[in-house]
Structure 1
Amino acid sequence: MKFFVIEGGKGNAAADIVFEVHSAGPGVNDVKAEAERRIRASGYEDWRVREFVTGAPMPSGLKYLRMQIDFVAEAISRLDRIPEDFRSDTYWPSF
């Protein structure tokens, strides 16, 4: 995206001053959305509802996975510059 300085009416025409605005990289909301996508893909919500309804505990590995995903999302969100490839499986725990 480019912005131009426009001088109107009085005075000389402004020199062609161009300001370039670079689009920002991924943000905290993007990281949170990726974390939620991974949690949904793991089936965590189904197990949580099942545990609530039946009283049968959800697998501890699934609880641990949720904790890991939340931790990674928080860690990536705190970086000064979030990597462009933050959706890569190298950053996230596997299930």
Structure 2
Amino acid sequence: MRMFEVIEGGRGQAVQMDDRSEKGRGPSRDDVRQEAARRLSASGCHLSRIREFATGAPMLASLKYLSLQIDFAAETLSRLDPIPEDFRADGYWPAV
């Protein structure tokens, strides 16, 4: 049986983003990649991919598809100029 987990958006890091915007610096491409990595890790994609390499059992198609969607969203967000201050918001990322 597969357990589902809620992935929170940027609520926990909203304070950090406010501090950064006061300094005049917006989010960077690295910030977007870190958010994508956090979402991939929280969804179980990394663990499933490692299990696939170790055992040969295929990764769930739904997790593969979610991983592709998160990568696409991260790539698209990192190409924006400027990157939106609220890029961690769930509206920019695929729903789980």
Both proteins in one fold, TM over 0.5: yes
Say yes or no: does 1:50 pair with 2:51: yes
Alpha-carbon separation, structure 1, partners of 2:43 and 2:83:
24
Bigger Rg over Cα:
1
User: Residues of 2 paired with 1:54 and 1:30: CA distance?
Assistant: 33
| Higher deviation after alignment, 32-41 or 46-55 | 46-55
Q: Going by fraction, where is strand more abundant, 1 or 2? A: 1
CA distance in 2, matches of 1:45, 1:81: 29
CA apart distance, 1:50: 1.2
1:57-95 CA-partner distances (Å, limit 9, x unpaired) = 010110111111110001011111111110000000022
Extract unaligned runs of 5+ from structure 1: 1-21
Once the two structures are superposed, residues 8-64 of structure 1 have per-residue CA deviations (whole angstroms, 9 ceiling, x without a partner) of xxxxxxxxxxxxxx5211111110110000000011111111111221101011011
Equivalent residue for 1:29?
Answer: 30
Equivalent residue, structure 1, for 2:70? 69
1:48 maps to amino acid? R
- 1:34 maps to a residue whose letter is E
Q: List structure 1 segments (4+ residues) > 2 angstroms apart after TM superposition.
A: none
Structure with greater helix share of residues: 2
Amino-acid identity (%): 59
Distance in 2, matches of 1:93 and 1:31, equals 14
RMSD: 1.0
Unaligned ranges ≥5, structure 2: 1-22
Structure possessing the higher relative contact order (Cα contacts under 8 Å, 6 or more residues apart): 2
Query: Which residue in the other structure is 1:19 paired with?
Result: none
